[in-house]
Structure 1
Amino acid sequence: MNEALTDLLDLLDLEQIEENIFRGTSRTSLVPRVFGGQVAAQALVAAGRTVPADRLPHSLHSYFLRTGDSGAPIVYTVDQIRDGRSFTTRRVVAVQHGQPIFHLSASFQTYEEGLEHQVPMPPAPDPESLPTAAEALPPYRETFRDPGTVERLLEARGAVDLRYATTPPWGSVGEPREPHSQVWFRTQGKLADDPLLHTCLATYVSDMTLLDAVLLAHGRGGWAVGDVVGASLDHAMWFHRPFRADEWLLYDQVSPSAHGGRGLGQARIYTQDGRLAITVIQEGVVRVPRA
């Protein structure tokens, strides 16, 4: 386990300051604001701390309300909405400087047998055959508007081994193409056998690349390239089958629509042996300067 992953696990180990109230800190990111995936993962940790261990998340729905300040702690207040025989529902509000910055609703379920089917996993190259971020990013250094962006991207993704199976967005600047992207990811080290932890880490990673698919159709090249301004608006996930975040997961992403200053991303996350583990949908603000 590398130092970056150790630091990330520390961030997810929230401090409980009162019943149903938790406090988290932030990590350095590409921009001064708090990374959205971190807030979502911490909120899910807070909710999970109030739920019996035999009930795991099956879905979450969330809204990003305000920009988070990476230099200040975040307080997570959990509202125990309902504890049923099979399902448990929690609502979490993340607060900074006296104002809510993020809202999450999560549902947990005990394991049940039931009907079984899934959409097949799409073709993808073996992750071990693909370049690491440290190998893939530097050749495009001059593409980024800030020369230091590559180093900061590598630092921000240091806890995760993330490998593009398709050309990364900054690899086709000015060349519109199909709004479809694939990345493989896993943590940079083995994790404890805690299903909630693996779910929270997948939630963290899910916010890293999904909205990139929006930009591909327009040849914009990524959020650190050119003049695009963006931010996540909402984020939803459904957890279908067991998985481990320290084993390869394929993140197959597509953008079906961009309109009105917003872009939509949809994705499926598969285990390496082809099981559909997670479905993700996210919408974000996508703005470019008017001509």
Structure 2
Amino acid sequence: MFARPVAALATTALGFSALFLPGSAAGTEDATARHRDPVVIAHRGASAYAPENTLAAIDLAARMGFAWVENDVQRTRDGELVVVHDDSLARTTDVEERFPGRAPWKVKDFTAAEIATLDAGSWRGPEWAWARVPTLKEYLNRVDANGQKLLLEIKKPVLYPGIEQDTLRVLGEEGWLDRAHVGHRLVVQSFGADSIKAVHALRPDITTGFLGTPAVADLPAFAAFTDQINPSHTSLSAEYVAAVHALKGPHGRPLRMNTWTVDDAEGAVRVAGFGVDGIITNNPDVVRDAMGRAPGAAGVSVAGRTVVP
């Protein structure tokens, strides 16, 4: 149903980005208003409704009107970058049935061709049986076709030495390192500080984010190489958000903050009150409703139910 990009998705997604992206030219008028309406980022796509990190999930996020999507990047045995969260394929594919003798089914132990044969959707329901684990190239092309923007996470970089260079190479090959993408449509983040330092050293023009909650005393050191501090919502306070915003990052702009993973209205209102810049969520519609739904939005049919953007 969502295997192909839908016509006019770019218009829809970019239209909603003007409503919800802090600092956009067509966005809110002042900093206070921007903090009331943090950007809503679809975690692994619209993953509450479609199989996470699949093309279906980002297509659905676009249909629901969300410009920003988040993903996870890892590397196969033969060097291909693929979009999958766990370092094992067992939870989100049928790898145990397809390759029963290869436990623990690590991404790094399979070739890209082998991973391409796996069913990455049936775990969410039989209607998603056609979904596959996309390569990063396929994922970038679909995000581009949908007119979306990408918060790209380099996952578990200690397992994949050199994955930063590989990621930048693929981004360049697929046209994502031009001024338009780097300036407005791409953030690279990781839990690995050394990984983000490497990305910043190789391409200092790219916006980067560190996933975690560094001590306030350590924030100036992080501000030397990252533009965002992106912590779990459970670790936040208004004072911590203010401490992050008080510092300038490597591009001379105040540090920003996207918090994860907020899936309920109460949590969304709480972190928005702290002044976060973005909310990463599996339920982007729920979070957007909590922030104030755009008037006149039409429902999107998902697996027999209507989701209101």
Does the pair score TM above 0.5? Answer: no
Higher strand share: 1
Higher helix share: 2
